[in-house]
Amino acid sequence: MRKEDRNFQGILVFGETRSNKIHSVTYELTGKARNLADVKGCEVSVLLLAESLRDDPSDLFRFGADKVLVVQDPSLSIFNQGIAVNVLKAIIEAENPEILLAPATTIGRTVLPSVAAMLQTGLTADCTGLEIDPDSGLLLQTRPAIGGNVMATIKTPVHRPQMATVRPKTFRIPAPRNRTGTLIYPTLPKETFSSPIQSIHLQRAEGDGGNIQDRDCVVSGGKGLRRPEGFRLIKELAELIDAGVGASRPTVEAKWISYPHQVGLSGKVVAPKIYLAAGISGAVQHLAGMQTAQKIIAINKDPEAPIFRIADVALCGDLYDILPRLIERIRVERCERNG
Ligand SMILES: Cc1cc2nc3c(=O)[nH]c(=O)nc-3n(C[C@H](O)[C@H](O)[C@H](O)COP(=O)(O)OP(=O)(O)OC[C@H]3O[C@@H](n4cnc5c(N)ncnc54)[C@H](O)[C@@H]3O)c2cc1C
Residue whose CA lies nearest to ligand 1 atom number 27: 223
Q: Which residue, by CA, sits nearest to atom 52 of ligand 1?
A: 147
Q: Given its phi and psi angles, is residue 106 left (phi above 0), alpha (psi -120 to 50 degrees) or beta?
A: alpha
The full DSSP string for 91-106 is HHHHH--SEEEEE-SH
| Whether the predicted model's global pTM rises above the 0.85 cut | no
Digits of tens for pLDDT over the chain (339 positions)? Answer: 887 778 999 999 999 999 999 999 999 999 999 999 999 999 999 999 999 999 999 999 999 999 999 999 999 999 999 999 999 999 999 999 999 999 999 999 999 999 999 999 999 999 999 999 999 999 999 998 887 778 899 999 999 999 999 989 889 999 999 999 999 999 999 999 999 999 888 877 656 677 898 899 999 999 999 999 999 999 999 999 999 999 999 999 999 999 999 999 999 999 999 999 999 999 999 998 999 899 999 999 999 999 999 999 999 999 999 999 999 999 999 888 877
What is the DSSP-derived secondary structure letter of residue 227? S
Asked whether 112 lines ligand 1 (CB < 6 A), one says no
8 contact partners, CB below 8 Å, separation of at least 6: 96, 97, 98, 160, 161
Contact 237, 245 (CB under 8 A): no
Per-residue confidence (pLDDT) for residue 327, from 0 to 100: 96
Predicted confidence at residue 293, as pLDDT, reads: 93
How far, in Å, CA of 229 to CA of 76, rounded? Answer: 43
Of the candidates 216, 214, 212, the one whose C-alpha atom is nearest the C-alpha of residue 247 is 212
> Ligand 1 centre and the CA of 294: distance in Å?
21
Residue 61 confidence (pLDDT): 98
Which amino acid does the sequence have at 94?
A
Q: Which residues contact 325 (CB under 8 A, 6 or more apart)?
A: none
Ligand 1 pocket mutation, candidates 218, 285, 315, criterion most atoms within 8 A of CB? 285
224 C-beta closer than 6 A to ligand 1: yes
CA-based R_g, the chain, Å: 22
Å from CA of 296 to ligand 1 middle: 16
- Would you say the CB of residue 259 lies under 6 angstroms from ligand 1? no
For the Cβ of 305 lying below 6 angstroms from any atom of ligand 1, the answer is yes
Cα–Cα distance list, 153 to 143, 156, 164 (Å): 7, 10, 12
Q: Which atom of ligand 1 is nearest to 282's Cα?
A: 25
User: Cβ(144) to ligand 1 under 6 A?
Assistant: no
Per DSSP bridges, beta strands 129-132 and 139-145 are: antiparallel
Q: Phi, psi at residue 74, to the nearest 5°?
A: -55, -30
- Ligand 1 atom having least distance to the Cα of 223: 26
266 lines ligand 1 (CB under 6 A): yes
Burial of 240 from C-beta contacts in 10 A (0-12 / 13-18 / 19+)? middle
Taken in order of first residue, the domains within the chain and their CATH numbers are 3-193 (3.40.50.620), 212-337 (3.40.50.1220)
Indicate left, alpha or beta for 243 from its phi (over 0: left) and psi (-120 to 50: alpha): beta
- The whole-number pLDDT of residue 119 equals 96
- What per-residue confidence (pLDDT) applies to 205? 67
Buried b (16+ CB within 10 A) or exposed e, 47-73: bbbbeebeeebeebbbbbbbbbbbbeb
pLDDT score recorded for residue 206? 59
